[in-house]
Amino acid sequence: MSAGYFPKREKVGLEDLFRGLVTAGHILHREEVTGEYGGHVSVRSPDNPATYWMSCALSPALVSSADDLVEYNVEDSSPVEKDAKTGFLERFIHGEIYKKFPAINCVVHGHTSEVLPYCVTDVPLKATTHLAGFLGGNIPVWDASAHAPSGSKQHLLVTDAKLGASLAAAFKPATSAGFIYSKVRSALPAQLAGNPPDPSREPDHAVVLMRGHGFTTVATGIEEAVYQSVYLKRAAKTQTAALTIHNAYFGHTVEGKVDVEGGGKIKSAKVKPEGSLKYLTDKEAHDAWEANQPIVGKSWALWCREVEVSPFYRNECPGSED
């Protein structure tokens, strides 16, 4: 038994970990965060911080037992067992994040349709409600094509350690501004296998968007990562609806100098939109996440029950006794 990943749990064994990992995948599918072509969730091993677990190359909805899970080395994302089942090509997303951030224990990657518009436009995704405070005020958008070797395939997938390391670095850019994710510490254990808390080795952002691809989110525990993934989708949906309503209701004001001699044409005109969207400030985002973070287990409990009673999902991983 080792340091836990679940709130109010001081200890957790691999049986609990496997069951939680499978359940997380089912929840992400049910909430339409992941789908047939997009998404995976992983968790660092509680007994060995140098390895992590994620499913083989199956849709998260179809993962049902420990036999579907693969253990990987953090160092190079190679499988620990030589005869392991075929894994995801993009497991380097997970391995390089675990390598860079020792306090991170769970990673989720998805291609959520509500989030994708903010991966292909210059419209920044922001925190619109208190439940999305973890987004902060500045979400990086990482571009795989800017870091791919010259002459390589431009498929936007993270299929090697170099691209994975570049994505991991985006969680802690050289110059950070606004909301600092690492300042909001989880109620979960903040260290793993004796690693002391070190702000310089913690991410500044909970979420990084990926141009033309999707998103990745990181957390200290499974429940927290699932919460962030679900509420990232809901935040994007809320913002898109707000922008739609705003643009339909408000007009635009044209400002400039009138050229009387030129027939009344406006010179040096500027189009100024009316009205505004009231996003959370950096402080509001910080304080909202600080208030919500300790109770993410409420959402987790509901989501667990929903997938447990659904005949579509199967979780054959036994749970251990406390």
Question: Residues 222-238: pLDDT tens digits?
Answer: 999 999 999 999 999 99
Judge whether residue 241 has pLDDT over 80. yes
Q: What is the pLDDT of residue 254?
A: 64
Global pTM reads 0.85
Q: What is the pLDDT of residues 289-300, one digit of tens each?
A: 999 988 898 999
pLDDT for 176 equals: 47
The predicted model gives 130-159 an average pLDDT of: 87
The residues, any chain, with a CB within 8 Å of residue 74's CB and separated by 6 or more, are 44, 49, 50, 51, 52, 95, 98, 99
If one compares 173 and 203, the residue with the highest pLDDT of the two is: 203
The residue that leads in pLDDT, 128 or 180, is 128
What is the spatial distance between Cα 96 and Cα 77, in angstroms, rounded to a whole number?
Answer: 8
From the list 186, 185, 189, the residue with the least C-alpha distance to 10 is 189
Say what the pLDDT of residue 147 is: 82
Instruction: Record the tokens describing residue 214, joined without a space.
Output: 């999707």
Q: 35: exposed, middle or buried (C-beta count within 10 Å: 0-12, 13-18, 19+)?
A: middle
Q: Is the pLDDT of residue 190 over 50?
A: no
Instruction: Name 187's Cβ contacts closer than 8 Å, sequence gap at least 6.
Output: 7, 293, 294
Q: Which two tokens stand for residue 168?
A: 């991991």
- If one compares 3 and 284, the residue with the highest pLDDT of the two is 284
Residue 218's contacts (CB-CB under 8 Å, 6 or more residues apart) are 97, 101, 104, 106, 107, 171, 203, 206, 225
Higher pLDDT residue, 267 or 75? 75
Mean pLDDT, the chain, whole residue set = 85
Query: Distance between CA 210 and CA 229 in Å, rounded?
Result: 14
What confidence tens digit (pLDDT) does each residue in 26-81 have? 999 999 999 877 799 999 998 899 999 999 999 999 999 999 999 999 999 999 99
pLDDT for 37: 74
Q: Which residues are catalytic?
A: 90
pLDDT given for residue 183 in this prediction: 45
Question: What is the model's pLDDT at position 259?
Answer: 62
Tell the burial category of 305 from Cβ atoms under 10 Å away from its Cβ (0-12, 13-18, 19+). exposed
- Residue 185: per-residue pLDDT: 42
Answer with the residue of higher pLDDT: 89 or 13. 89
Give the chain's domains with CATH numbers.
Answer: 2-259+266-272+279-308 (3.40.225.10)
Distance CA 33, CA 25 (A): 10
pLDDT of 266 > 70? The answer is: no
Percentage of residues of the chain with pLDDT beyond 90: 66
Q: What is the DSSP string of 170-237?
A: HTS-SS--S--GGGS--SS-S-STTPPP-GGGS-S-SEEEETTTEEEEEESSHHHHHHHHHHHHHHHH
| Alpha carbons 107 and 38: distance in angstroms, whole number | 14
Helices and strands counted in the chain (H then E): 7, 11
Cβ atoms of 63 and 25 closer than 8 Å: yes
